[in-house]
A and B are shown apart, each in its own frame.
Chain A
């Protein structure tokens, strides 16, 4: 170091390179001594060479050490540290005493050399408890001189509070803040417009099935759909309330999907707040999913395991000692779960808020999984990175990204349950015409299910699994169904001007929509006053209407409960954009009942858009649509505004930078 010696730098180890044999670190073996280099005749430290008793380190390292540790913190610390006075050796003690004494100028001297001695007096070393080099301060007399000088120069007084701290911050309100305020206002306004009026209907809604190019999400959906009762699914809530607005939707859907099949989710997280937040999600699901009048219970229908501290370290523990992690719940109680390893759970589902979480799971958990696939979902922010990992690791399946994918997932789930609905009703108690052919298919279906690969990705085209919801181990036979709900071609007109006939439910009570035009037919769905459905056909005497339902199916409704109307397509669609039905309250519930038929308990599903209360034992809220559409529109409009803002702002700044550059060029 070529710098001038100064008080604060005096201990640079480079100044005082120790003998090559002494590693700087070794200095700390010695009794603490001040190492003021400016003191002449500093005694050599005799104990230095006598260290060879240390464990022998590689020769390379011993030799490299002195140079590499140059401004070693250990060294700096050993010097800069305050030490009690009594640790100083005697010689320094006396030196210090002399210094303290000399800083109190004697009266005679002052008289002899007027003023000069005051200026020359050594700096006073302040007596501070415990420390010797705390501060070098000016003596009182010196301070007076300084004040005098300051007076002459016109510098501010020390005690002047107004100038004691120079404020370099710009004033909080300046003209430069105006563009910012305008930008903020515009962005907020545009993002709120869709909530005020539905006139700002920009863009298409997300598709009702994942795009065929995206194998990941489809596979993920199918895997979750393949669960059987008492399967355990590890669900990692790797997001806190920060991302609640984005990921709650998908987390709720996953939980519903799992719970509806009586599989058991085990919730873990390496984020402490997420554990608490997971309880909120569960209670939200609870408000809508009820089993036999009971709500989901911790320890039976779901588990929240203890928090995994230390981020990746916790995940490492999870993957290596899953048996222990699964033993303790978040409340510190025993769960009674017994696992050998993470491979004992059917799937690991991870919902990540940040790219970091995805990386941690990919690094710490995925390599430890042998059979169990890791199903991943993430927010938009994590998606680019998560995609990199999902593409390059075989263990990671699928990536459901953000709110739009959550919408699609909800659509698929709903359609799937609607299909269950149809199948259940075909096989249910009312349908005595269940043909022998269908029953014959039962063994084949079961066989197909038995050889269903658990860990490998199920191809998207595979048959939709049987309704694994039955509390009994037997699976309900179901005809193979290749038809997807989207294929149900509806006679909905594409031209919005065309007049269509609809029925509006007028009955104040809940109305049943059935499979056929008789009260003996199965119930498909429940509707309530204000709901509107498009008419497909009527029966012979016009007492029943065949109507199109929102999930792509069609059903029958009794004429006395509804009123027929003619509306233009535009008017009909005005509400929420449903193509075939307009529901007054956009919530879809799926109600499940168990009925004994042919000696077996079979589930029967009804759909409703109003919460079912009272005597009906079970129902499942599949989704809460009340805010879905405006939110999606707000995102579209907000993105558009953001694009404009960013483009405009950058054009302005680029132009001004160009002008500045030009001006600089001219000056040169």
Chain B
């Protein structure tokens, strides 16, 4: 068995099995009312089931790869005297220590994680609002104008002010009709792309695992 071909062949075999198992498994109705259809459907679903379980654990384990990378990079930076990398490593080590000592304790989460994350999400508001004010700087055309107009009407429509009732009705219509259409278009497009690239990968035609 050759080297590069192996990955391609494994991809092809595993991919086809998984797709068929996921698409056809667990539905006896597909095979009519024959006596064995129940069993057949169950068997068809099994490879997909096993592979899924496998992959779920692999993905859970892959966090270790991420952590190794994070530590490798920041220990490297630390040796070059970067202060913040020390902060990161210390915070990482302390959290691990804390969670090992106080198992199931969530006060660290509540004291540190939640406030920082919430505050960052709140900062996002400033980024979004000020970014929204600069749209015409980047897109000084009809699309920028349309974008800003929609942003303003949806924002105004969300206000609980009696004077704005017509705007509210308009923005409700906007959300129900054109926005729904546009969102569907984008989602359908992404779904199509996902399917096509997915099929290509399943067929063993993607280069990513050959290099």
Pick the contact of B110 from A203, A280, A317 — CB < 8 Å?
Answer: A280
A300 interfacial contact with B, CB 8 Å: no
B2 interfacial contact with A, CB 8 Å: yes
| 10 interchain pairs, CB-CB under 8 A | A25-B8, A29-B4, A68-B205, A76-B211, A187-B129, A276-B106, A388-B183, A638-B125, A654-B145, A657-B137
Pick the contact of B3 from A29, A241, A642 — CB < 8 Å?
Answer: A29
B93 interfacial contact with A, CB 8 Å: no
Given contacts A25-B210, A29-B3, A320-B52, contact A242 B158 (CB under 8 A): no
B127-141 interface code vs A (CB 8 A; 1 in, 0 out): 001101111110010
Neighbouring B residues of A204 by C-beta, 8 Å: 160-162
A28 interfacial contact with B, CB 8 Å: yes
Neighbouring A residues of B133 by C-beta, 8 Å: 183, 645-646, 648-650
Q: Is B148 a contact of A646 with CB atoms below 8 Å?
A: yes
Q: Which residue of B lies closest to A27 (CB)?
A: B4
Q: Is A180 a contact of B160 with CB atoms below 8 Å?
A: no
CB proximity to B under 8 Å, residues A609-640 = 636, 638-640
Shortest CB–CB separation between residue B42 and chain A, in angstroms? 12
Shortest CB–CB separation between residue B166 and chain A, in angstroms? 16
Neighbouring B residues of A244 by C-beta, 8 Å: 114, 117-118
Instruction: Give CA–CA (A561, B121) in the complex, Å.
Output: 48
Q: Is B140 a contact of A72 with CB atoms below 8 Å?
A: no
Q: Is A74 a contact of B207 with CB atoms below 8 Å?
A: yes
B126 interfacial contact with A, CB 8 Å: yes
Q: Is A645 a contact of B130 with CB atoms below 8 Å?
A: yes
Shortest CB–CB separation between residue A178 and chain B, in angstroms? 13
Shortest CB–CB separation between residue A237 and chain B, in angstroms? 13
Given contacts A639-B155, A657-B136, contact A646 B49 (CB under 8 A): no
A35-64 interface code vs B (CB 8 A; 1 in, 0 out): 000000000000000010011000001000
Q: Is B160 a contact of A636 with CB atoms below 8 Å?
A: yes
Q: Which 5 A-B pairs have the closest CB atoms?
A: A649-B133, A657-B140, A73-B211, A28-B4, A29-B2
Looking at A27, A243, A316, A380, the one whose CB has the most chain B CB atoms below 10 A away is: A316
Shortest CB–CB separation between residue A188 and chain B, in angstroms? 8
Neighbouring A residues of B208 by C-beta, 8 Å: 73
Instruction: Give CA–CA (A206, B158) in the complex, Å.
Output: 11
A245 interfacial contact with B, CB 8 Å: yes
Neighbouring A residues of B160 by C-beta, 8 Å: 203-206, 404, 636
Neighbouring B residues of A391 by C-beta, 8 Å: 180
Shortest CB–CB separation between residue B19 and chain A, in angstroms? 13
Neighbouring B residues of A206 by C-beta, 8 Å: 160
Pick the contact of B183 from A54, A279, A384, A653 — CB < 8 Å?
Answer: A384
Pick the contact of A646 from B137, B152, B205 — CB < 8 Å?
Answer: B152
B167-192 interface code vs A (CB 8 A; 1 in, 0 out): 00000000110011001100100000
CB proximity to A under 8 Å, residues B23-81 = 26, 45, 49, 52-53, 55-57, 59-60, 63
CB proximity to B under 8 Å, residues A1-50 = 25-29
Instruction: Give CA–CA (A52, B161) in the complex, Å.
Output: 76
Q: Is A388 a contact of B3 with CB atoms below 8 Å?
A: no
B95-122 interface code vs A (CB 8 A; 1 in, 0 out): 0000000011010011001100110111
Q: Is A321 a contact of B134 with CB atoms below 8 Å?
A: no
Given contacts A187-B126, A242-B118, contact A309 B56 (CB under 8 A): yes
B195 interfacial contact with A, CB 8 Å: no
Instruction: Give CA–CA (A645, B135) in the complex, Å.
Output: 12
Neighbouring A residues of B110 by C-beta, 8 Å: 280
Q: Which residue of A lies closest to B176 (CB)?
A: A387
Q: Which residue of A lies closest to B103 (CB)?
A: A331
Total residues of chain B contacting the partner, CB 8 A: 64
Pick the contact of A283 from B4, B106, B135, B140 — CB < 8 Å?
Answer: B106
Instruction: Give CA–CA (A526, B118) in the complex, Å.
Output: 35
Instruction: Give CA–CA (A650, B131) in the complex, Å.
Output: 10
Neighbouring B residues of A314 by C-beta, 8 Å: 56, 59
Pick the contact of A72 from B104, B106, B211 — CB < 8 Å?
Answer: B211
Q: Which residue of A lies closest to B124 (CB)?
A: A242
Shortest CB–CB separation between residue A56 and chain B, in angstroms? 11
Neighbouring A residues of B193 by C-beta, 8 Å: none
Neighbouring A residues of B196 by C-beta, 8 Å: none
Neighbouring B residues of A658 by C-beta, 8 Å: 140
A310 interfacial contact with B, CB 8 Å: yes
Q: Is B135 a contact of A650 with CB atoms below 8 Å?
A: yes
Q: Which residue of B lies closest to A647 (CB)?
A: B152
Instruction: Give CA–CA (A638, B128) in the complex, Å.
Output: 13
A359 interfacial contact with B, CB 8 Å: yes
Total residues of chain A contacting the partner, CB 8 A: 74
Interface residues, chain A, CB within 8 Å of chain B? 25-29, 51, 54-55, 61, 68-69, 72-74, 76-77, 180, 183-184, 187-188, 202-206, 240-245, 273, 276-277, 279-280, 283, 307-310, 313-314, 316-317, 320-321, 331, 359, 380, 384-385, 387-388, 391, 404, 636, 638-640, 642-643, 645-651, 653-654, 657-658
Given contacts A54-B2, A203-B161, A384-B179, contact A310 B56 (CB under 8 A): yes
Shortest CB–CB separation between residue A339 and chain B, in angstroms? 16
The A/B interface has a contact count, at CB < 8 Å, of 191
Looking at B5, B26, B49, B53, the one whose CB has the most chain A CB atoms below 10 A away is: B5
Looking at A206, A276, A279, the one whose CB has the most chain B CB atoms below 10 A away is: A276
Q: Is B140 a contact of A321 with CB atoms below 8 Å?
A: no
Instruction: Give CA–CA (A46, B148) in the complex, Å.
Output: 65
Neighbouring B residues of A388 by C-beta, 8 Å: 180, 183-184, 187
B86 interfacial contact with A, CB 8 Å: no
Q: Is B114 a contact of A643 with CB atoms below 8 Å?
A: no
Neighbouring A residues of B49 by C-beta, 8 Å: 320-321
Q: Which residue of A lies closest to B26 (CB)?
A: A320
B197 interfacial contact with A, CB 8 Å: no
Shortest CB–CB separation between residue B50 and chain A, in angstroms? 11
Instruction: Give CA–CA (A183, B133) in the complex, Å.
Output: 10
Pick the contact of A645 from B129, B145, B162 — CB < 8 Å?
Answer: B129
B87 interfacial contact with A, CB 8 Å: no
Neighbouring B residues of A385 by C-beta, 8 Å: 183, 187
B151 interfacial contact with A, CB 8 Å: yes
Q: Is B152 a contact of A643 with CB atoms below 8 Å?
A: yes
Q: In the complex, given contacts A314-B56, A639-B158, A645-B133, what are 10 additional A-B residue pairs having Cβ atoms less than 8 angstroms apart?
A: A25-B5, A54-B5, A241-B118, A245-B122, A276-B109, A276-B113, A277-B114, A314-B59, A645-B132, A647-B152
Q: Is B161 a contact of A387 with CB atoms below 8 Å?
A: no
Q: Is A640 a contact of B152 with CB atoms below 8 Å?
A: no
Looking at B26, B52, B63, the one whose CB has the most chain A CB atoms below 10 A away is: B52
B9 interfacial contact with A, CB 8 Å: yes
Q: Is A241 a contact of B117 with CB atoms below 8 Å?
A: yes
B159 interfacial contact with A, CB 8 Å: yes
Neighbouring A residues of B134 by C-beta, 8 Å: 649-650, 653
Given contacts A241-B114, A276-B106, A650-B148, contact A317 B211 (CB under 8 A): no
Neighbouring A residues of B89 by C-beta, 8 Å: none
B156 interfacial contact with A, CB 8 Å: yes
Instruction: Give CA–CA (A359, B191) in the complex, Å.
Output: 11
Q: Is A653 a contact of B137 with CB atoms below 8 Å?
A: yes
Q: Is B210 a contact of A243 with CB atoms below 8 Å?
A: no
Q: Is A202 a contact of B161 with CB atoms below 8 Å?
A: yes
Q: Is B5 a contact of A242 with CB atoms below 8 Å?
A: no
Given contacts A73-B211, A313-B52, A653-B137, contact A639 B159 (CB under 8 A): yes
Instruction: Give CA–CA (A61, B183) in the complex, Å.
Output: 36
Q: Is B180 a contact of A180 with CB atoms below 8 Å?
A: no
Instruction: Give CA–CA (A316, B25) in the complex, Å.
Output: 13
Pick the contact of B2 from A26, A640, A653, A654 — CB < 8 Å?
Answer: A26
